[in-house]
Structure 1
Amino acid sequence: MTHKNEPQSNRAALTRFAWISIGASITTIALKSSAYLLTNSVGFLSDAVESLVNLVAGVMALAMLTVAARPPDEDHAYGHSKAEYFSSITEGILILAAAGGIIFTAIQRFFNPQPLERLGLGLVISAAASVVNFAASRILLKAGKRENSITLEADAQHLMTDVWTSVGVISAIGFVALTGWQMLDPIIAMLVGLNIVWTAYQLLRRSVAGLMDASLPEQDLKVIETVMATYRAKGVAFHALRTRQSAARRFVSAHVLVPGAWTLHDAHHIAEDFEGDIRRELADAIVHTHLEPVDDEISMVDVHEKLD
């Protein structure tokens, strides 16, 4: 049985958060480019490049959120929510590329240190850019977790990698300005780059899992099992549980086995109640059930085939 009243999140409203990311990226590009021109610091230049990557990622996020907000149609009966994964994978790759560029630049600077100029003003400008990115990242991350949007979470993480990059660059350049020990500049940059690589790996892993229709996370499966337990006490059994997640939408399907003596009316109502309970516990869950008599051997054929 398929429940027809499938709830949907207002994904279209999320596009305004993508505009926040784009605005923050444009602002920080201008600030960091100014810091580079003032100081001639490759660290500030790499920081500006990171913000340029953020801008490209923000535009990608806006496009994919717009696609994901489209309602289901004849060619896409399950909606367009998976479009968000294209954005998050793109951002993961861009984060990796930015990390690679930072590490490469740091290695070059390690073997070829250069004097830095007008560091005080450059540090102030870069710090201001970091504040802009941090504020935008917090807004996007909060919205992403609330709406279960991997695109917004990816964008927020991308902005935070920019913040950590800036923190590393500012710390290193500030220390160099105080001590004259220029070797610290590339060392800090390489450490920041490795941290960004780890962030990209985690993001790509989540995105690939979504595209491959991985099962719902363990905490969601425990919620489903808890709901099932209440119905087992009423003489109902379950098998063939299948789950997957597509961005903010969760899909749950199961075979509901009821006593053969039950009327179709009673069986239908118990299945409807089960679907409703799952949807109440898992927001935006799309629940599909298939009714079977528990005392019919045919009902267990799919279980035996799976075991074989």
Structure 2
Amino acid sequence: MSAAAYLKISVAVALATIALKTGAWWLTGSVGLLSDALESLVNLAGASFALLMVTLAATPPDDEHPYGHHKAEYFSSGFEGVLILVAALAIIWAAVQRLLAPQPLEQLGWGTALSLAATALNGSLAWAMLRKAHEHRSIALEGDARHLMTDVWTSIGVVAGVLVAGATGWLWLDPLLAIAVALNIAREGVSLIRRSADGLMDRALEPEVLAQIDQVLAGFAHRTIRFDHVVTRRAGQRRFVDLHMHMPAQWSLGRAAALRNSVELALMSAVPGLRATIQLLPSDVEAHAGDAEDAI
């Protein structure tokens, strides 16, 4: 199943959980359960936007975007991070109002049952989406899955707190728990925004991937062949590496090109989704990429 298919399921699940959690809040009057329902609205908006961005990222390169549209996924996770922060502020505002004017909780049995049913749906989907996100290296899918998983744990905490508040009569515990939920999801929102910014600013590949690249290059290195100026970056699911390959000046162009092709194939085989750009240089020539820019 594709990433887009999972996001379509996420939209449908978000609609179902909104209905269940809104029902739970309506039955109980709990501001904690209301905060949980508001977060599900964020799930719906985030999944819808992620679906749009994943679809855009999958479109082939064109004249205006010759490197493709892979970075569109970073907009998705950044957008979801902003939505999470907005939801957190709305939850805190509602919780403070209830803290100032406590209200009794009602029909906790049915209310918590509906909330737990929604939590089970979110948990199952989040687990499946995280596996798929790692398989496809999709930050949009991972962002949506991590938000769902955060929703699962906060929902469990809200239900537990509401039950304790109902059993003890500590009505202040309900809004206090809602504020804790808001702070927790705000932390997740900040994390998503930071990761999106890193991707848009061409962050280098992960250390373990860099180690794989170094291992491949070491297999081709020779006293007459060397590699330098290895630069990497990520763009959504796509990975890029640029480097210089030095070889004897007397080699024919055909021989040099054949070796470069072998290196490129080895790199792409070792690192799925990698696009390698290799500049051929004679052994006695040095190229210092970026020196002119740094001097400006």
Normalised by the shorter chain, which TM-score bucket? over 0.9
SS at match of 2:2: helix
SS at match of 1:64: helix
Which of 60, 72, 80 pairs up with 1:71? Answer: 60
**Distance in 2 between residues matched to 1:37 and 1:306, nearest whole Å:** 61
Q: How does 1:21-170 map to 2 (within 5 A)?
A: 21-170=10-159
**Distance in 2 between residues matched to 1:13 and 1:136, nearest whole Å:** 14
Give the letter aligned to residue 161 of structure 1: T
Task: Determine what percentage of the aligned residue pairs are the same residue.
Answer: 42
Give the letter aligned to residue 202 of structure 1: S
Contact 1:168–1:189, Cα closer than 8 Å, also in 2: no
**Distance in 1 between residues matched to 2:259 and 2:157, nearest whole Å:** 58
How far did 1:234 drift? 5.4
Which of 261, 264, 272 pairs up with 2:250? Answer: 261
Aligned residue pair count: 295
Instruction: Note if 1:226 corresponds to 2:215.
Output: yes
Give the letter aligned to residue 62 of structure 1: L
**Distance in 2 between residues matched to 1:143 and 1:110, nearest whole Å:** 41
How far did 1:101 drift? 2.1
How far did 1:123 drift? 0.6
**Distance in 1 between residues matched to 2:51 and 2:217, nearest whole Å:** 39
Structure 1 unpaired stretches of 5+: 1-11
182-191 vs 131-140, greater mean Cα deviation: 182-191
1:17 counterpart residue number: 6
Please provide the CA RMSD for this pair.
1.9
1:7 counterpart residue number: none
Contact 2:30–2:174, Cα closer than 8 Å, also in 1: no
SS at match of 1:30: helix
Contact 1:164–1:192, Cα closer than 8 Å, also in 2: no
**Distance in 2 between residues matched to 1:207 and 1:302, nearest whole Å:** 27
Give the letter aligned to residue 17 of structure 2: T
Contact 1:84–1:247, Cα closer than 8 Å, also in 2: yes
How far did 1:203 drift? 1.3
Instruction: Note if 1:250 corresponds to 2:239.
Output: yes
Contact 2:31–2:175, Cα closer than 8 Å, also in 1: no
**Distance in 2 between residues matched to 1:226 and 1:266, nearest whole Å:** 23
Task: Give the 3 Å change call, closer, same or farther, for CA 289–104 of structure 1 in structure 2.
Answer: same
How far did 1:302 drift? 4.0
Task: Give the 3 Å change call, closer, same or farther, for CA 133–259 of structure 1 in structure 2.
Answer: same
Task: Give the 3 Å change call, closer, same or farther, for CA 304–74 of structure 1 in structure 2.
Answer: closer
Runs of 4+ in 1 over 3 A off after TM superposition: 300-308
TM-score for the superposition, normalised by structure 1: 0.90
How far did 1:16 drift? 0.7
Give the letter aligned to residue 262 of structure 2: D
**Distance in 2 between residues matched to 1:281 and 1:107, nearest whole Å:** 54
Give the letter aligned to residue 128 of structure 2: I
Give the letter aligned to residue 29 of structure 2: N
Contact 1:215–1:245, Cα closer than 8 Å, also in 2: yes
TM-score for the superposition, normalised by structure 2: 0.93
